[in-house]
Chains A and B, each alone.
Chain A
């Protein structure tokens, strides 16, 4: 436990200092400010535009951070050979994976919370409204991105960093469409197709069980119990990915 925590703290310090992270966050903040300009073109719908496009910026820039940093996390340690020093000490491989994930999750939390807070302040300054629901939406976006991070970390244990990042983006996109896969499993008469669709539906993380951005705009809002259930599902998915990553990483030879 102590080893995991030590690795997590170290990973957090390492990733939070990353210059690329700072550049991405700056771009996201610029996008959020740019939503002010869109707001001025929206015929009285300024707050809606700021809120929705701001949250899109948080999601997409958070995704970039999630996949590129998570994809590189393990490979960097191997390339720099610091992993050998680490494993010469009483540190297990699963502790390494969990520590890396928790450290990156802490960084991601700081990044997403920072962007969300910035958006909240901008909206408050412009419209004099403090949107509590925006905080909930930002937290749920963080949980979604944590899933993408865990999946990317899992891929990075057996593929290259770039491929893991690309696969992470693909899983994010597939996660947006998972309900379509479920619909596919209900059409047609082929039992094989139905079975395959069902398996894909189970494998791909369901990132749209609650439409976070839609709920913020008053479309299809969700009850707290549904939000709780979905969050629990995503956390369970993260655990499965990390267990899988630890199993693969345990068999890896350096």
Chain B
């Protein structure tokens, strides 16, 4: 009897130790924002036919890393290296470039986002999204008198590639014109909303909230002009996001 009780006590004790240890790991807090990221060449040389799955694994890790740090400590020190690794191992992984370019904005590195998109464009010259986003980056974060012209040229390139949105030539044409900067910026961000993942959509909503009129009727009128930049389903989501604080 005593032996049985002792055994049960041992099991309970060991179970408590296991649960206690693991539950304290959960409360361990944020991970280190500076993580070790090997150079892509390491996996290119040693990955054999597993290079793409390694890129996928690092993609999952990059998303987790970004999600963990972006709203907590705002430290994204290793994000450029992680994106460099993922896109280096899988140069045709287009979503990694698009996500990465916008995620790098949170790291305060729009320049790196632009260069990431440039590399993606070089690796995927038939994908219209690259010149489209490059145009957006140049217009929104670029400096200098020539930025409208350069952005318009990127949009014009996007308009020549198969599968582009019908509104892309209109954007190019508008950019070639002088003035109406606020309208242009609204159109750009609305396009980003239509094409982006949930993170870039969040950024687009935040930017548009600043650019659009505060008055509800005026805002509604400005938003209605953006209807042809996205599909009806995207537009419904867009309306819901833009007027979130109004209801």
Contacts and interface: CB of A to CB of B under 8 A. Distances in A.
Interface of A: 38, 41-45, 48-49, 52-53, 55-56, 59, 173, 175-177, 180, 207-208, 211-214, 216-219
B59 A53 contact: no
A56 B53 contact: yes
A52 B50 CA distance: 9
Interface in B65-99: 90-93, 95, 99
Contacts, number: 71
Nearest to A140: B49
B48 A42 contact: no
A184 B213 CA distance: 64
Given A43-B95, A219-B90, A213 B52 contact: yes
B49 A212 contact: yes
Interface of B: 45-53, 56, 59-60, 63-64, 90-93, 95, 99, 197-199
Given A56-B50, A208-B48, A211-B51, A41 B197 contact: no
A41 B64 contact: yes
Q: DSSP class of A's interface residues: helix, strand, loop or mixed?
A: helix
B92 to A, nearest CB: 5
B59 A42 contact: yes
A180 B46 CA distance: 8
Given A208-B48, A218-B92, A43 B99 contact: yes
B53 A53 contact: yes
A175 B50 CA distance: 12
Nearest to B123: A219
Contacts of B95: 43-45
B49 A214 contact: yes
Interface centre among B46, B50, B198 (most CB of A within 10 A): B50
Contacts of B91: 219
Nearest to B66: A43
Interface centre among A43, A208, A212 (most CB of B within 10 A): A43
